[in-house]
Structure 1
Amino acid sequence: MTEISGQGGLRAGATAVVTEAYAFACMRCGYGWEQSYEIEHHVDGDGRTFVLYVADGRIVPSPLNRPTCHSCDGHLVRILRPGRVDSARDAAHRERRVPAAGPVEAPWTPAGPAPLPLDTPEGPAPLP
């Protein structure tokens, strides 16, 4: 998700600010998290452009270069579109209905047709 901010929230020297959000999943420990970044576009004194990633008001390294797991400090991290971690957590916490084990039997009522006879040790029962 990308949003371009107007001139209102620019840090000194920034020409534009783009907000992007990412979801992350650690392939080492399974930890997942989401983070939103303000990506500030700047031009240095020589006219070269560069960007600063800002998360929670602090300048941080780009999460795209070498993401680090917040839980195990591992670097085997998958980057996903935003919302994927939250939707996985929601799915994990939904109530799951598991059917009882064993065969399913339909109840027999006297008004309905009689159940078919079961197989006997001598072979299958004859059909009525």
Structure 2
Amino acid sequence: MSDIATTVHEAYAFACMRCGHGWEQSYEIEHHVDASQHAYVVYKADGERVPSPLSTPTCANCGGHVVRIMRAGRVSTVQQLLRNPDRTQPAAGPLTPEEPREEPVAATAAPAAGHHWHLSDLLHPFRK
């Protein structure tokens, strides 16, 4: 009996909690069952065999191992918002007539000229 394989495609977003670097990667995940009925998994990224991204991901920017794994699209969404700083989020919920409309908070306002945003700027409120 030969090796049986089923391939699925998954993508993950990663954020390094050390330096704030963010990236996304797609994987081909091959689920195998060998002749002895032992199951094993092979991960491939860009056609190359790689270790499981869920075991010990490593930041390509700083080499750190404290990496947050998220569903695909999280990093690219933030990067797109940072490229379009004029776009502001709508207020949460309707305003009643007696409530004055508040100015946007610093986190949603356009960044000062010359300021380059990093993913770590967005993660800063979560650090203690």
Range class of TM-score, shorter chain: 0.5 to 0.7
> Taking structure 1 as reference, are residues 14 and 30 closer, same or farther at Cα in structure 2, changes over 3 Å only?
farther
CA RMSD in angstroms, aligned pairs only: 2.0
**Residue matched to 2:63:** 73
Contact kept, 8 Å, 2:6 with 2:31, in 1: the verdict is yes
Task: State the aligned residue count.
Answer: 88
- Aligned partner of 2:50 in structure 1 is 60
1:86 aligns with 2:76: yes
Decide which structure has the larger Cα Rg and report it: 1
Of structures 1 and 2, the one with the larger relative CO (CA 8 A, separation 6+) is 2
Q: Distance between the aligned counterparts of 1:71 and 1:45, measured in 2?
A: 41
Instruction: Write out per-residue CA displacement over residues 91-115 of structure 1, whole angstroms, 9 at most, x where no aligned residue.
Output: 111133898xxxxxxxxxxxxxxxx
TM-score (norm 1): 0.63
1:36 aligns with 2:5: no
C-alpha offsets along residues 43-101 of structure 1, whole Å, 9 cap, x if unaligned? 123210001001000110000011100111100000011000000001111133898xx
The TM-score with structure 2 as length reference comes to 0.63
Gaps of 5+ in 2: 89-102, 104-128
Residue identity over aligned pairs, in percent, reads 56
Structure 1 unaligned residues grouped into runs of 5+: 1-11, 100-128
